[in-house]
Amino acid sequence: MAAAITRLVRPKSSIARWARRCLSASAASGANSHTPPYNNSSAINLKPQLSRKGQEENGNIHWVFLGCPGVGKGTYASRLSTLIGVPHIATGDLVREELASSGPLSAQLPEIVNQGKLVSDEIIISLLSKRLAAGKAKGESGFILDGFPRTIRQAEILEGVTDIDLVINLKLREDVLLEKCLGRRICSQCGGNFNLASIDIKGENGSPGIIMAPLLPPAHCMSKLITRSDDTEAVVKERLRLYNEKSQPVEEFYRSRGKLLEFDLPGGIPESWPKLLQALNLDDYDDKHSIAA
Ligand SMILES: [Zn+2]
């Protein structure tokens, strides 16, 4: 399988250097789960020294989003990918696309998936490698990976396939996460996803408060809401425990390489999105691009 993996080489980009600056600024100020990077002035003072020209010429972004189930990692990865114009690649989508195609793996995949087995690291990395090579051929200027790597073994294999500049670890207090997971509802008629949990935790002893508005359904869905059978407290807690067990070595893998950016979500999307852009030094990216356009 290793032979089938193409190592994708790309020039060192200015955006990669800038991502590293971003990281060293966070590291220097001791940003961690207790002191979110967006709260320290040195990170904010270190605005990217990037010209628009530099971004357009060398705008390769090789980023990974980590975060436990329910944290909204897919949402943030997808928004960022739209903002900076690189594809959001979720490995679950790659498997689904391969199943729907007539690719070389489409014959063995249904068997694996139908038997409820996990798709092997080799198959995932082969699909990912193929996807990245196709993107490069089309002139894509990078990617944001979502849901990969999940294990340290996958992280090691990924190293052999491509360089990763930055790993954004999205975190949310476990009590809030649990409440959000337990608040999830699906409309049994239209399939819409909603969330009834309304979170408003006051800040105390120097730790910030968290506000997350519920995502309420329209009136006609309200009486048709159902809860997924696996959104029970015991199942959600077990899912989180398993996630932490597997992800901690992956976080450590990237932390030791100076690539991990810890980001504590301060609330829902309206609260978190601007702060995430700030932590990534992208908060004036919108303006720059509208000027460039
Ligand atoms: Zn509905």
CB 65 within 8 A of CB 145: yes
Ligand 1 centroid to 222 CA: how many Å?
7
**pTM of the predicted structure, to 2 decimals:** 0.75
CA distance 23 to 274: 18
Ligand 1 centroid to 221 CA: how many Å?
4
pLDDT per residue as tens digits for the range 16-73 = 555 555 555 444 443 443 333 433 333 332 333 333 333 333 458 999 999 988 898 9
Give the burial class of 83: count Cβ atoms within 10 A of its Cβ; 0-12 exposed, 13-18 middle, 19 or more buried: middle
> What pLDDT, on a 0 to 100 scale, did the predictor assign at position 80?
95
Give the burial class of 213: count Cβ atoms within 10 A of its Cβ; 0-12 exposed, 13-18 middle, 19 or more buried: middle
Tell whether the model's pLDDT for residue 225 goes beyond 50: yes
Mean of pLDDT values over 89-98: 88
Q: Which residues are tagged catalytic?
A: 73, 150, 184, 228, 239
Structure tokens at 100: 């729907």
Structure tokens at 30: 């001791």
Residue corresponding to tokens 């932590």: 279
Domains of the chain: 59-286 (3.40.50.300)
> What pLDDT, on a 0 to 100 scale, did the predictor assign at position 292?
47
Cis peptide before 149 (omega within 30 of 0): yes
Ligand 1 centroid to 192 CA: how many Å?
6
> What pLDDT, on a 0 to 100 scale, did the predictor assign at position 59?
58
pLDDT per residue as tens digits for the range 96-131 = 888 888 777 777 787 777 776 777 888 889 899 999
Ligand 1 centroid to 217 CA: how many Å?
7
Confidence grade of residue 205 (pLDDT, cut at 50, 70, 90): confident
